[in-house]
Amino acid sequence: MLISPLQLSDTRHMSGAFSVIGVIGKFGKSNVAEVLSAYLQKRSVEVIIDDSASAAFSDSPFRFSNSDTIADQCDLAIVVGGDGTLLNAARSLAESGVSVLGINLGRLGFLVDVSPSRMVKQLDHVFCGEFTEEERSLLQTTVIRNGAQIMESAALNDVVVHKWDIARMIELDTYINGQFLNTSRSDGLIVTTPTGSTAYALSGGGPILHPGLDAIALVTICPHTLSNRPIVVGDAAEIEIIVKDEGGTEAQITCDGQVNLPLLSSDCINIRKKAHKLRLIHPPGYNYYEILRAKLRWSEHP
């Protein structure tokens, strides 16, 4: 088995003996579901198909259920689609410790790195125990309004507090471990994990953080003060953001671009590292820097 520097201490999959497989995804018009179904039927494994993918496996003998069942009963979840599909799955699977493998149906992804054309061969490697397993940190976010918690969500990529459908800046107070950082007037603030550093935060001028770093980055979106710069802190930090706009704010919070909530003035957003990490596995040959070069087109000539 290939071991990454981010190897988990839990060794229940060291032999590669995955026995209960969950399948989650958006298959569209591809034939990936047909190929994957035939492949899994040839192996001595139990398969649970998420309800959202049931139409693609209507002719299969597999059991159908929801993501909660997959989290409770599976030791490997195969997620088919794009990075967004995996982000959604990660929030429900990370706490259970299910290993996750991403099969890419869109453009090259940072998280879903198995191509359909190589899927069967790479699944063979995975089921033989030849894979790299790493941990990816998530953020845990709560929103407090008038002393009461009104929202709680995890995020694998980022938590963003941002303006909402209006061409005006919002004002935010930010604290790190109880110490005041700054008051910013801007289009918003991105709080990102290393995984999410190549997403929205990158387009906002934030740094690329290797997924193995124990860090969180804060990136202001279009700040009014040009001296405002991204800051990176340790992932043990507790971050508090207070919405200050007394004139009636038009702001919202978004987790991974998928979970949204409108915000009011004086709302308090608390962000910290989630206690559980995502177990993400890759077939042999996975190279984070190679994906960076391809996604960011670093190898192209001017």
165 is an active site residue: no
Helix, strand, coil distribution of the chain in percent, nearest 5: 20, 35, 40
Residue type, 139: L
Task: Tell me how crowded residue 75 is: count the other CB atoms within 10 A of its CB.
Answer: 18
| End-to-end CA gap in the chain | 40
Check residue 30 and report its DSSP letter.
Answer: -
Catalytic residue (one of 10, 68, 75, 83)? 83
CA distance 253 to 260: 6
Query: On the CB side of 100, how many CA atoms lie within 13 Å of its CA?
Result: 34
3-state secondary structure of 88: helix
CA distance 176 to 189: 14
Residue carrying structure tokens 């915000």:
263
Total residues belonging to the chain = 302
> Are 116 and 32 spatial neighbours (Cβ–Cβ below 8 Å)?
yes
Alpha carbon of residue 17 to chain centroid: 25
Residue type, 32: V
Considering only CA atoms, which of 44, 100, 27, 42 is closest in space to residue 70?
100
Phi (first) and psi of residue 86, to 5 degrees = -70, -35
CA distance 238 to 179: 10
Q: Which of the residues are catalytic?
A: 83
